[in-house]
Structure 1
Amino acid sequence: PRTPVPRHGRRSRAALPAAPPGFVGRDAELAYGERALRGGVGRPAVRVLAVSGPAGVGKTALALRLAHRTADLFPDGGLLLGLRGPQGRPLSAAQAGAALLRRLTDDVPGVPLTDPEELTDRLRRALHGRRMLLILDDAASEQQIRPLLQAVTEGSVILTGRRRAAALDGAEHLRLDAVRPEEAVELLLAAGGERMAQDPVAVAEIARLCGCFPLALRVAAAALTARPHTTPAALAGRLRDERTRLGVLREGDLDLRSSLLTGYQEAGPALRRAFRLLSLAPAPDFTGWTVAALLGTGAEEAEETAEELVRAQLLEARTDGRSVRYGFHSLLRVLATELREAEPDAARTRREVVERLGRAYGSLARYADQRLAPGRDWRARPDAGPAGPDAAAIVGASPLAWFREEATGLVETVRQTHAAGLWPLVWDLAGSAAGYFHARAAWEEWEETHRLALDAARRARNTEAEATVQYALGDLAWQRRQADRALRHHTAAQHAFELVRDRTGVARCRIGAADVLLGQGLLEHAARRYGRALALCSAEGDLRGEVAALKGLALVNLRRGRVDVARRQLEQCGRAAERLGDRRWTEYVRRTTARLAPDPAHRLSPVGHAVEVGPGMWLIGTATAA
């Protein structure tokens, strides 16, 4: 039995605020918190449950809901103590302790307590014999609340704060993220009334544009309630513009921007700068090398900065168990963009950051491209080390996997560099990704990036760059079976390459045109172009060009029924592919040569429907297996 405690100088049973109305969802989080506070078989009840998450995610609401669900555990009631003063400034440990002491007892000294030990002792005596639940709301640091926690010996504490209180021994941690989309819709319907229910499509869009953040959802519902003349569809329309979204999410004393700004304002100058600049990240999530490029720092400093932003709940860390990528919650990204664009030198900063990012992406993409398709870019030096990030470590053993992971960011970086007028970076980035677009049949991305690259080359009046982009657009047109367009691009590219005296470029254009002519059944025309290209490629030491020309000649001879000649040319093609180091082409040639073996059971017929003319490429109307 508990030792009786005199009631002198002590208030009656403490009372918590009412549970928040309209609370929906969070079933899993509430169940987890309740299990922690109640304990169970072989598991004692926790003394401290630390709830963390970004501003506006609903930490206080969940703590109160949980407190009322477990009220039977705390016969002496509970208290909620806010740990912030005016303008959201954190209370000191002494201020927080004095505030709690005033709530617990009338016996408070007239002068402030400055001795932490004396403060803790007074709190311990005030709490002695009382099984209470304390909610310490919006903590700024472990240092702030440690003296308070040391005084709690018989009750429990729910601690809320943006930062995870990782240094607290014995605490159970519960992190809150945005609610699930269906819970967000439920919250809007509960808070927004009948008008919300009349337009489920608009409600779903409002939930998405609010990032499924409880505070944002409540403000959106309040904004609709305050305007009887408007509709959910109209509200969704106002929220679509990121430039004004945070302004729309303000109603009465509910202000999403003000809430989100609290964490930003508590960060130091370097961290605030990083928060702003990372809003230029070109993909929803990004790795440490992207952080380093955006901030203009080394890899270690970039990782440390990103992790500090994660601890401050200004950035999210996302992992698949093998690697970590970072990203913004959508509303925090809107805030970061707004703050960055409000800077006096916003345009200059944006251009500098985009240029750093473009150079880093270009360096890595060229490295990955040389390993995905050796010799594809005849202007690249295979032995040249990348200037910038450690490409070998970042790209890893699978360049295709790296491209697949970074493709969204790379395409967006092409857009950003074009918008910034960084013309050489535009065509460099687009060209370095062409091999990946080809391998993955990413026709739309190929088209968009190279149209921007062609515009950049023309604006810069760079004939060589224009020729290279025209050649790539010809390849794209051929992959899409647009023969006339492919010939136009290849012809324009060949003329431009002749102007800049790029013999390898001329040869590649002849091969591209020959592929089109072969597909149209114009064998003599195709053979002449392949033959001239082969001579040029051999003279220039272009192994990849030799492989493509020999493959084309083999297919011409296969169409003519000269299977033995075709087989010999494919064998030459295979040897060139081996010297090139392209495993995909080597394997293709090996398989095709095996199908042309003298054994009649494996021989190809000169008539058929389709044949693979390269890794991932098919030629219509030529030889197939009989």
Structure 2
Amino acid sequence: MTDPVVQTEIVKQAIALCFTTGGKVAEYLWKKLSGRRDEKRLRSDPAALEAAVRRLAAEDPAVAGELRELVGSMLAMRQARPRIVPRSPNLYDRVGAQAQLAGTGVVVLSGPSGVGKTALAEHHGMRSGGAYPDGALLIDLGDHRDGPGAPLRISQVREAVLQALGVEPKLITSGAGELKTQYNDLLGPLRLLLVFDSVESVRDLQALVPPAPTSLVLALTEGAPDELVTQYPRHVPLSRLEEGADRMLFEAIAGTDLLAADPEGAHEVLVECDRFPATVVAAAIAARQRAALAARPLKLLAKELSSGRALGPVSAAFDRVLAGLPRREQDLCRALSEIPGPSFTYEAAAAVAGCEPFEVLDGLVHLQSVFFVTEEPGKRLRLTKQARQALARAGHAPGGEGLPRLVRFHRTRAVQADQWKMGRRRLRLYDETLPAGTEPLDLAPGQDAVDLLVAEIPVYRALAEPAHDAGLHLELTQLCGALEIVGLHRGHLRELAEINRSGIASAKALGDVPLQLRVIAQQARLYSLLQEFPRAEKEFGKLGELLQRLEFPDTETNRQLRASLWEFRGLFHRERGQYTEASACFFEALKISRTLGGLPFRGQGLHARMLANVQVMLGDLAGAFQLLEEAEANTDPENKRDLAQVWLVRAKALSRSGSVDAARQALDLVPEVWRMVAPTGSDQYDLEIAEALGDAAWSCGDFTKAREYWSGVWQRLQAVKHPRADAVHAKIYAEPPLIR
């Protein structure tokens, strides 16, 4: 006698076989049930058929035995469940995305064509086969509609799914309603992976997601419409590959030898590919094809790609996207192509497009969805290489109003940041005038305006020369003048020197002598701090002739200017270790600043402190302490940055005094300096403060603590190959003085 539980399972298996593979089980059951009035309903209703077979088996035990034998034989010879076989063995990166595809339910996988949605789904199907014992299917809905946007032939898709599961075509019902019922009833109890590619709308998916609680449905879509992700909120957007994964993919296709022979060319090709999977694959194939024809195929290919060369279907897809964009977004794309820098904010995008920031947001979101714009760190955006190449193929060349708009936008932000940070506390020779109606600078709570400028340094570097060549001399000198505060508070000296070269040329074009003096002297100062003394000397050499052309040298502004020129020259000598010459220069600067009457001018306090600093180096501690009194008396107590520098020099003088008590005072004073500097956002003094702490600890006899401070300083200097690294290194390994 058959166990009831076993018999129930046999009946279920028989019904499943009857509605899928058919065969001997189906023939046996239909023969047993033929002639019944409800035969037609039984052929389309698995639940009704199951109930009928259970009654039949209960009434006739022989039926149960025969059915058991038939089911067993068919299961033994049944074909394997459907599986997804990846078309390409190459899948790199996507670790995070793969982790989000596990489990059951519906997951929307979105991204532009060529980003790797299908490849990811295929590899997931292959790797997770054990999780879906009833099979894995991939159905491209594009094969079941008459082109993009056309209605989906739902019944045709359902038939394709049923046939893939082994249902004989003759057993698939013909009516749409009956087919839906058969589809849902058959898939409901199964544990499947169903991948639907080319999903266009929520209606597509609603009609195809079966009531199968143990199955996973992956919906692959390009645009991820709002209603789709609202209905199915498990959304995994795909974008470009992680850094390094593009090289692995390229190497897998093009070959290791090709990349090893020309690593520079490989890098240039990958830059043009923009880590977009389909482009990387197409470029790798093109590189491999050229390998037998050109000495440096990668270098050649990179040049072709940068000029807009098409990569077959991949480029054609981007060309279609560009052609299909709404006119407003096409215009936005063209405007963005005029941004020379590596990235931009949405405000800069609005500026270059000549509209309000809120007007570009929807367009940028859509351009991101088609990989014409990609996200960069720090909430920044970038026009992709593929978009630029498509624009080039379409015949668009930059040269409209975008560049002047962009330069003026950045000029305005820089001048506002300078005014916000420094108020009237510093000498400015550039024209601070901004257009009427300029909106105030909008900063987040706690944000420092200097950080806005630091984030844009790569953009300014890319923008400076085109701005000069376009004749935007006034705007460029305003930008360069405002950027002085970056060097004062954050460093970035080399980048500023590069930007300033174009600023010098624009100042000369304007014929403004005081402005030229300031910009050239600022360049010399930057080179001095970079330890590039021959270049600094060359810039200083340009100042003599300009000073002779300076009209009215004794005006208040020009006295400040002349004092700053002596200051920068003194800094040059100080950086070279020429303290006597530095002392003479700072003394000349201080003499001029004293004629200005102290506060509110910074000059007297600034130059007294600078002179005191070199007097400490020269061993004139008495003179240094006297100068520090003058410096503090002429420093605004609210200007914590300048005041902290005065105290730092005092700490240095105390450390060198030879008195343990004085050294302890220094050790107590330096942390206070640090506390004063930190809120100002000026981080370029970190190393100087840390070294001063080491000096004070050494003078106190705490040699271990001193070496800890100096080691931290040395490591940071050595990492950037700073010339002072050797001097600090020598301190670390100096022998402690003998204690008598």
Q: Would you say same fold, with TM above 0.5?
A: yes
For residue 129 of structure 1, report the CA deviation from its aligned partner.
Answer: 0.5
Distance in 1 separating the partners of 2:619 and 2:243? 62
Which residue does 2:142 correspond to in 1? 83
Which residue does 1:545 correspond to in 2? 603
Q: 1:161 aligns with which of 208, 216, 221?
A: 221
Pair 1:405-2:458 in alignment? no
Distance in 1 separating the partners of 2:643 and 2:432? 19
Which residue does 2:336 correspond to in 1? 278
Pair 1:533-2:595 in alignment? no
Structure 1 residues 478 and 284: alpha-carbon distance in aligned structure 2, compared to 1, 3 A threshold: closer
> What runs of 5+ residues in structure 1 fail to find an aligned partner?
40-44, 112-117, 605-611, 619-623
Structure 1 residues 76 and 383: alpha-carbon distance in aligned structure 2, compared to 1, 3 A threshold: closer
Pair 1:136-2:196 in alignment? yes
Which residue does 2:414 correspond to in 1? 365
Residue type at the aligned position of 1:327: R
Which residue does 1:230 correspond to in 2? 293
Residue type at the aligned position of 2:643: T
Q: 1:316 aligns with which of 342, 365, 374?
A: 374
Which residue does 1:19 correspond to in 2? 86
Question: Greater share of strand residues, 1 or 2?
Answer: 1
For residue 588 of structure 1, report the CA deviation from its aligned partner.
Answer: 0.9
For residue 543 of structure 1, report the CA deviation from its aligned partner.
Answer: 0.9
Does the 8 Å CA contact 1:530/1:552 hold for their aligned counterparts?
Answer: no
Structure 1 residues 32 and 430: alpha-carbon distance in aligned structure 2, compared to 1, 3 A threshold: same
Which residue does 2:119 correspond to in 1? 61
- The aligned runs of 1:58-137 (5 Å cut-off) are 58-70=116-128, 73=132, 75=134, 78-83=137-142, 89-92=147-150, 94-97=151-154, 99-101=156-158, 103=160, 122-130=179-187, 131=190, 133-137=193-197
Distance in 1 separating the partners of 2:614 and 2:266? 60
- SS of the counterpart of 1:187? helix
Which residue does 1:505 correspond to in 2? 558
Does the 8 Å CA contact 2:287/2:297 hold for their aligned counterparts?
Answer: no
- SS of the counterpart of 1:174? strand
Which residue does 1:331 correspond to in 2? 385
Q: 2:107 aligns with which of 49, 61, 70?
A: 49
Task: Please list the CA deviations of residues 173-228 of structure 1 after superposition, one character each: whole Å capped at 9, or x if unmatched.
Answer: 33333334554344334433586476373556544542333322321232244446
Which residue does 1:570 correspond to in 2? 628
For residue 555 of structure 1, report the CA deviation from its aligned partner.
Answer: 5.8
Does the 8 Å CA contact 2:315/2:386 hold for their aligned counterparts?
Answer: no
- SS of the counterpart of 1:327? strand
Which residue does 1:177 correspond to in 2? 239
Does the 8 Å CA contact 2:246/2:270 hold for their aligned counterparts?
Answer: yes
Does the 8 Å CA contact 2:86/2:119 hold for their aligned counterparts?
Answer: yes
Does the 8 Å CA contact 1:414/1:449 hold for their aligned counterparts?
Answer: yes
Structure 1 residues 380 and 29: alpha-carbon distance in aligned structure 2, compared to 1, 3 A threshold: closer
User: Which deviates further from its counterpart, 129-138 or 480-489?
Assistant: 480-489
Which residue does 1:290 correspond to in 2? 348
Residue type at the aligned position of 2:195: I
Q: 2:250 aligns with which of 163, 180, 188?
A: 188
Residue type at the aligned position of 1:543: F
Task: Please list the CA deviations of residues 87-138 of structure 1 after superposition, one character each: whole Å capped at 9, or x if unmatched.
Answer: x95243x3342542563586999x9xxxxxx968754544531346443223
Structure 1 residues 231 and 135: alpha-carbon distance in aligned structure 2, compared to 1, 3 A threshold: farther
Which residue does 1:608 correspond to in 2? none
Residue type at the aligned position of 2:238: L
Q: 1:588 aligns with which of 645, 651, 658?
A: 645
For residue 595 of structure 1, report the CA deviation from its aligned partner.
Answer: 5.7
Does the 8 Å CA contact 2:111/2:369 hold for their aligned counterparts?
Answer: no
Does the 8 Å CA contact 2:107/2:217 hold for their aligned counterparts?
Answer: yes
Task: Please list the CA deviations of residues 5-52 of structure 1 after superposition, one character each: whole Å capped at 9, or x if unmatched.
Answer: 646999x99967742133233472685266x2xx3xxxxx22x23222
Distance in 1 separating the partners of 2:281 and 2:566? 61
Q: 2:484 aligns with which of 434, 441, 445?
A: 434
Does the 8 Å CA contact 1:477/1:485 hold for their aligned counterparts?
Answer: no
Which residue does 2:364 correspond to in 1? 306
Distance in 2 separating the partners of 1:84 and 1:91? 13
For residue 81 of structure 1, report the CA deviation from its aligned partner.
Answer: 1.9
Does the 8 Å CA contact 2:319/2:390 hold for their aligned counterparts?
Answer: no
Which residue does 1:355 correspond to in 2? 404
For residue 524 of structure 1, report the CA deviation from its aligned partner.
Answer: 9.1
Structure 1 residues 513 and 194: alpha-carbon distance in aligned structure 2, compared to 1, 3 A threshold: closer
For residue 452 of structure 1, report the CA deviation from its aligned partner.
Answer: 0.6
Structure 1 residues 229 and 119: alpha-carbon distance in aligned structure 2, compared to 1, 3 A threshold: same
RMSD of aligned C-alpha atoms? Answer: 4.6
Does the 8 Å CA contact 1:52/1:175 hold for their aligned counterparts?
Answer: yes
Task: Please list the CA deviations of residues 56-109 of structure 1 after superposition, one character each: whole Å capped at 9, or x if unmatched.
Answer: 2221222223334445626366342243799x95243x3342542563586999
Structure 1 residues 595 and 183: alpha-carbon distance in aligned structure 2, compared to 1, 3 A threshold: closer
Task: Please list the CA deviations of residues 553-581 of structure 1 after superposition, one character each: whole Å capped at 9, or x if unmatched.
Answer: 656877898756654543343243316x5
- TM (normalized to structure 1)? 0.76
Q: 2:274 aligns with which of 200, 211, 215?
A: 211
Distance in 1 separating the partners of 2:408 and 2:282? 42
Residue type at the aligned position of 1:332: Q
- SS of the counterpart of 1:347? coil
Distance in 2 separating the partners of 1:583 and 1:342? 55
- TM (normalized to structure 2)? 0.66
Aligned pairs, number = 578
Distance in 2 separating the partners of 1:336 and 1:227? 23
Which residue does 1:114 correspond to in 2? none
Q: 1:424 aligns with which of 474, 493, 517?
A: 474
Which residue does 2:713 correspond to in 1? none
Does the 8 Å CA contact 2:480/2:503 hold for their aligned counterparts?
Answer: yes
Q: 2:306 aligns with which of 229, 243, 255?
A: 243
Distance in 1 separating the partners of 2:650 and 2:111? 61
Distance in 2 separating the partners of 1:421 and 1:50? 50
Does the 8 Å CA contact 2:92/2:245 hold for their aligned counterparts?
Answer: yes
Distance in 1 separating the partners of 2:144 and 2:353? 34
Which residue does 2:523 correspond to in 1? 473
Q: Which has the larger radius of gyration?
A: 2
Residue type at the aligned position of 1:302: V
Percent of aligned pairs sharing the same letter: 16
Does the 8 Å CA contact 2:566/2:586 hold for their aligned counterparts?
Answer: no
Distance in 2 separating the partners of 1:182 and 1:290? 29
Residue type at the aligned position of 2:223: R
> What runs of 5+ residues in structure 2 fail to find an aligned partner?
1-11, 23-42, 45-78, 163-168, 664-672, 674-681, 689-694, 700-740
Task: Please list the CA deviations of residues 488-539 of structure 1 after superposition, one character each: whole Å capped at 9, or x if unmatched.
Answer: 2443453454369864234323342256367552589647733552255339
